[in-house]
Amino acid sequence: MKNRPIVYKSYGGNIDVHLRTVCGYLASFNNRDSDGDVIVKGAFSKSLNERGVSSNTARKIAFLYQHDMTKPIGRFTTLVEDEKGLYFEAELDNIPLANDVLEQYVSGTLNQHSIGFRYIADKTTHDKATESFIIKEVDLFEGSVVTMGANENTPFIGIKSEQLESYEEELRRETELALKHIPFEEAYKIRQLISKHISLKEAEPINITPIINEPIPTPMNWQNIISHIKIN
C-alpha cells in the first residue's frame, strides 16, 4: 500500500516557436498514474483561486524547469480545469535556459510536464479495491517541464511538475517519502499530527499562563520523527 505526498504527472503539448508559447495539460482527471494516484476534477480549484493567473498574490503558481524553484523559465498565462484535466498555456522567457528548453521542445527531447503540490490529508481517500489514492484537493505550487513524469496521459500541448521553496518544505517531502512505506491508516494519523504541529508553529504567538504542575510540551523535532520511521 502506497502513500503519495507530492505527485508528478506528465502530459504533451503544442509549441509556437515564434511566440515562445506552449500549451497542454499539467494533470489528467480520473486517471490512475504510476504512483497509484487518481486526481478528480476540482482538486486544483482552491489553489487556482489563491495563486492562479488572475490572483492578486505575488506568489503565483510557478512555471519551472525540472521542479527546480531556482530555475523559472517563464510564466503561465492560462491555468484552468476542464473535463480532461488541468489545462495550461505558458510563455517562455527570453533567457538562456528557456531558449535551451524551447530547442529541446522542438527536438522532442523534452515533451513531458509535471505538477508540484502538497496533498491535503483530509481531502484524500484510499480505495482498497484498486489500491489507489483518490485526491480531491491539493495545494499546488508549480508546474514544470520534465524529462519524465508519473503520468503518461499528460502529453504536452503544454507543461507540468513541482518544487519546494524552503528547508521546511523539503523536510515535508522527506517525511512523505518515509510515510509511504507504512500502512495508510498509521500514515494518515501521523500526517494529521504533523499538520497540527505545522499549524501551531505558523500561528501567531500568544501569551499563555502555564498551568502549575503541567509539563511543557516539547517542540516537534522533524529529523527525529523521520529517523524513527522505518523504511523497508
Buried b (16+ CB within 10 A) or exposed e, 180-192: bebebeebbebbe
Strand partners of residue 132:
127
Residue 114 bears catalytic tag? yes
pLDDT band of residue 119 (cuts 50, 70, 90) is: confident
Active-site pick, 142, 144, 161, 176: 142
Tens-digit pLDDT profile for residues 137-175? 999 999 999 887 666 655 554 333 333 344 556 666 677
The rounded mean pLDDT for the chain is: 75
DSSP secondary structure letter of residue 32: B
Tens-digit pLDDT profile for residues 53-62? 999 999 999 9
Residue 199 bears catalytic tag? no
**What are the structural domains of the chain?**
12-165 (3.20.16.10), 166-202+217-232 (no CATH)
Residue 142 bears catalytic tag? yes
What are the Cα distances from residue 43, in Å, to 124, 128, 183, 218, 226? 10, 21, 24, 35, 28
Q: Do 134 and 127 touch, CB atoms closer than 8 A?
A: yes
Active-site pick, 10, 67, 113, 162: 67
Q: Comparing 54 with 34, which gets the higher pLDDT?
A: 54
Active-site pick, 10, 28, 47, 114: 114
* Residue 129 reports pLDDT greater than 80: yes
Q: Comparing 85 with 201, which gets the higher pLDDT?
A: 85
pLDDT band of residue 130 (cuts 50, 70, 90) is: confident
What are the Cα distances from residue 125, in Å, to 122, 131, 135, 174? 8, 10, 7, 21
Secondary element (H or E) of residue 81? strand 68-81
Q: What is the pTM of this model?
A: 0.62
* Residue 200 reports pLDDT greater than 80: no
What are the Cα distances from residue 9, in Å, to 17, 155, 162? 24, 10, 10
* Residue 36 reports pLDDT greater than 70: yes
